[in-house]
Amino acid sequence: MLPNGDAWLSHVERGLSPYWMAESAYGQPVGNFPTFRCDNGDVLDVTAPCDELANHSWIRAEFGRDYTRMKSRQIYAYGVRYHLTGDTKALELAKAGVDYLTQELRDKEHGGAISYRENGKAGLDWRQRTSQDQAYAIVGLAFYYYLTRDPDVEQVLIEQQAFIFDQYRSDNNDQLLWVLKDSGNDKHVQRELVAQLDQINGYMLLVMPLLPEPYQKKWRDDLEWLTKQMIALYHDDEEWRFYGAIHHPAMMKINAKHNDFGHTIKAYWMTYLVGQALDNPKWQRFAETGMEKTLERAAFSYPKTNLIGVLSDAEYQSIPFDEIYSWQSKPYSYGVSSWQWAELDQALMTLAMKQGKQLDPALVKQLFFTTTSFQQYWVDQQYGGVGLMPKSVKQFHWGNGYHQFEHALVGYLSAQAWYQQPATLYYALPDNSDASLQPYYFNGKELERSVSEISIDKLGLKQVRTRFMMNEKNQ
């Protein structure tokens, strides 16, 4: 039996939230969320760093930097907690993050957002900031706008999208560039999948249907162009995978950076959802085939005895199976990070929503194992949260609440669809709003909308509780 919706809500409440709702996560001032925290929730002390961060040289090298993208990802995490539970404290934290980011971290001279600050000053020439960082600077703002339709946030999103597509579009109009000027780590010649992909999943796909005209049409046209170019330039039609980068033949090899199942499945998943949003069944069929092939390659199993010494005796004895099913990041590479696991699960959850009980039994078994094991063994049961690896390395310059909370949201929606139960979600809208609502990237029939009598005073909004029946339009 797949985990039901209540199991996913418990995962959010008891598994993820204790780490992110701890006061140490709030920042000084509240909304200036820290980039680095230890597994116990303490803010990193660079004079006496915790081992779980300091023992990774690539993390330790970043200790002096404070990243905008991580503040935005934390906004997203608080937004999802509110969306699933109605906890107004989480929404207030999200709003504090939105205010801090929009007031302090936008580049008012050149446009766009600051990538990071070091010693209190903005790092990098504005032309050295990656287009990926520009996308993730607003991932939290996009989710907050989805919840609230805040007009000020809407304007920031419109301006940021225009900045990215005006400044980073290549001269021959075939893709978005990585950077506009060389820096120590990034080069103008780079042609990166995530320069395209993370515009789609970072903000465009969620926000585009919600915008007023003429902005919705512009975003729709840009989204169609970007997806078309991503498929044309980065997809290997023979091997059925996406290249992580294409600026050198070595970067297109199967074991090169970003040539992993996580990036490939995310590209197929986004293509599928864009095809759904733009009514392009060709892209949907293409992406569904790609997801199925990638999931088959990424899945593997191993004997339960491999977990002796990895799990506690109690955890080991509680597993009633001799064979364990899991995900791998690359062929013949059995390590996998939590974000890759989440992306693979989310694609499989989407297939489960589309195919329902017609889903291949092997995929049902795979989804049972990967979702239950994520809830039980990836989560730090003492302090909460999910790390880059099981139970550890939870908050650093690339690790935050974003992937784990999106995983929980898609998990909840797919579970309600699987068991044919209504999905309950919370929004926060102005009084008497008649805004059209949707269940994240998916389609659902709105069954009921109720407005709370308790005003969210600090935001001037009302809590809107909405029940959806996930429907066949997800096909």
| CB-CB neighbours of 277 under 10 Å | 20
Which residues lie below 8 Å from residue 178, measured CB to CB, with a gap of 6+? 130, 131, 132, 186, 187, 188, 190, 191, 192, 195
CA distance 409 to 207: 17
Residues 262-289 have a mean pLDDT of 98
What percent of the chain stands above pLDDT 90?
89
Q: Which residue has the higher pLDDT, 140 or 452?
A: 140
Strands (E), 174-273: 235-236, 241-242
pLDDT at 473 over 70: no
Which residues lie below 8 Å from residue 58, measured CB to CB, with a gap of 6+? none
User: Which range among 48-52, 289-293, 305-309 shows the weakest confidence by mean pLDDT?
Assistant: 305-309
The domains of the chain are located at: 5-474
Strands (E), 246-309: 299-303
pLDDT at 454 over 80: no
> In this structure, are residues 227 and 283 in contact, taking their beta carbons and an 8 Å threshold?
yes
pLDDT for the residue numbered 472: 57
pLDDT tens by residue, 298-326: 999 989 898 888 778 887 887 888 888 99
Across the chain, what does the average pLDDT equal?
A: 95
pLDDT tens by residue, 371-416: 999 999 999 999 999 999 899 999 999 999 999 999 999 999 999 9
Q: Of the ranges 162-171, 428-437, 458-467, which is most confident?
A: 162-171
Say which DSSP state 422 is in: P
pTM of structure? 0.96
pLDDT for the residue numbered 471: 77
User: H-helix or E-strand containing 196?
Assistant: helix 193-199
CATH 1.50.10.10 assigned to 5-474: yes
Can you tell me which residue has the tokens 């390395």? 393
The tokens for 335 are: 């390590």
CA distance 94 to 142: 11
Which residues lie below 8 Å from residue 229, measured CB to CB, with a gap of 6+? 174, 175, 196
Residues 330-350 have a mean pLDDT of 94
What percent of the chain stands above pLDDT 70?
99
The tokens for 64 are: 């002096």
